[in-house]
Amino acid sequence: MYAKRLDNLPPYLFARIDAIKAQKRAEGVDLIDLGVGDPDLPTPAHIVDALCEAARDPANHHYPDYLGMLEYREAVAKWYDTRFGVKLDPKTEVLALIGSKEGIANIPEAFVNPGEYVLAADPGYPVYKTSTLFAEGKCHLMPLLEENNFLPDYDAIPKEVVRDAKLMFIGYPNNPTGTVAPMKFFDETVEFAKNNDIIVVHDNAYSEISYDGYVAPSFLQASGAMDVGIECHSLSKTYNMTGWRIGMACGNKDLISAFGRVKTNIDSGVFDAVQKAAITALTGPQDCVKNACAIYQERRDALVSGLRSLGFNVFVPKATFYVWMKVDDSAAFTEKMINEAGIVVTPGNGFGPNGEGYVRFAITRTVDRINEAIERMKECGLRGN
C-alpha cells in the first residue's frame, strides 16, 4: 500500500510525544510541558502589525517568488552583515525557506545520490537522518560525546565512510545538548570538508538565544566556509515565529543555486505577507530579542538550580532554550516524569543512540511552572544519584 522507504523511517519524535500529551490531557492530567522547543512568548507586536498590513494588500495575494522576494533576501543579507560581519549577495547567496526544517529536509535531494553517505550529529535534530533516507542516502552518525564537549571527532569517522560522504549536517548552538562551538571548530570543519570534498550544512537556528554575554558565531564567518557550505537559519526562535514558517539558507552561490532548483520543483515559496513581516523583524528594533533572552535566562537559572538541588547532573547552556541532563535510562525517566509527575521532557535517545542516558528540558514555560515542576519531582521522589 505504501512506499518501502517508509519502513526505514522512525515515527517523528515530537509527533509521538504530542500523541502521549493528548492522551494524558484527555485523562485530565495538568501537564507541565517542557518537551518541544516551541516558544510560549508571543510574536512581537510590530511584526504582527506588519503581517496584518501586508495581508490586507491584494498585491500580496498571489504566488510568491520561488526563491524569496528580493527585498526579503536583501534584508537577510543586511542582517548577516550587521550581526556576523558576513557579506552575502542577496541575489545569488540567499534563499528563502519555509522554516529551516523545510530546508534541512530538502537539501539532500540536491546533492546526495543513492548510496552516498551523509554525516550527521548523534544526538542531533532527527530531520538530519530522515532527510538523508528520503534522498536514499546512507546516514553515518557522528557521536557527540560529553568528554569531547559534544563536538564530533572527524578523525574517528571510518575512512571508507569519509571517502563516500557527500554532505554533513552540524548545528551549534546545539539542539539537543545546548553546547556551543568555538570558531576553531568551524575552521577545522572547513578544512575537513575541503580535504574530503564534503558539503557542510550548518543549522544555526539558535544563534540569537544566548546567555551570560555569550554571542554565537555563524559558520560562514570561518575562513573558506563560503567555498564549502550553506547555513540554514530561521526566524522561529529569534522572533517567536515558529508557526509562521520562514527562514533562510545562505552560503556558496553554486550550492544555493542547486538547492533552489529543488525548491522550485517542490514548493511555491513563502507567502509575501509573511516575508514582509520577516523584513520588519530583521530590520526593526531588536530589543524584543534581548528581552526574550533575559526571560529565558531567568528560566534556565531556575530550572538548573532546581534540578541540581535534587541531585541531578545538569549542563548549563550558554545558548538555545534547552537544558541537557544525565539520567540512568532515558525512556524510563521520561515515562516516570509524565506518568507520576505530569511533566513532559524529551528522551535523549530520541535524538540518536548517543542520546541515551540523557533527557532534554525546554525552558518554554514560566518560572512559576518550572518551580512547580521541581516541586512535583521532589514529591514523586525523582532525584539524581
370, amino acid identity: I
Residues 158 and 251 in one domain: yes
Alpha-carbon distance of 345 to 359, in angstroms, equals: 7
CB count, 10 Å around CB of 54? 19
Q: Are 342 and 24 in contact (CB under 8 A)?
A: yes
Q: Could you tell me the residue range of the domain that residue 319 belongs to?
A: 4-42+287-379
Residues 17 and 131 in one domain: no
Residues 228 and 307 in one domain: no
Per-residue model confidence (pLDDT) at position 5: 75
Per-residue model confidence (pLDDT) at position 294: 98
Last residue of a domain, one of 220, 253, 283: 283
Residues 212 and 341 in one domain: no
Per-residue model confidence (pLDDT) at position 372: 98
Residues 127 and 262 in one domain: yes
pLDDT in tens, 267-319: 999 999 999 999 999 999 999 999 999 999 999 999 999 999 999 999 999 99
Alpha-carbon distance of 334 to 305, in angstroms, equals: 20
3-state SS, one letter per residue, for 335-347: HHHHHHHCEECEE
Residues 62 and 210 in one domain: yes
Residues 76 and 223 in one domain: yes
Residues 85 and 169 in one domain: yes
Q: Which of 221, 273, 265, 264 is nearest to 246 (CA)?
A: 273
Residues 211 and 309 in one domain: no
Q: Is the dihedral of CA 142, 148, 153, 157 positive or negative?
A: negative
Residues 96 and 216 in one domain: yes
Task: Count, in order, helices (H) and strands (E) of the chain.
Answer: 13, 13
Q: Is 45 exposed, middle or buried (0-12, 13-18, 19+ CB in 10 A)?
A: exposed
263, amino acid identity: K
Residues 118 and 181 in one domain: yes
| Residue 212 located in a structural domain | yes
| Residue 384 located in a structural domain | no
Overall number of domains in the chain: 2
Alpha-carbon distance of 71 to 357, in angstroms, equals: 46
pLDDT in tens, 326-362: 999 998 999 899 989 999 999 999 999 999 999 999 9
CATH classification of the domain holding 341: 3.90.1150.10
Residues 268 and 173 in one domain: yes
Query: What is the DSSP-derived secondary structure letter of residue 359?
Result: E
Q: Are 385 and 377 in contact (CB under 8 A)?
A: no
| Residue 254 located in a structural domain | yes
Last residue of a domain, one of 231, 264, 283: 283
Residue 148 scores a pLDDT above 70: yes
Entry pTM: 0.95
| Residue 385 located in a structural domain | no
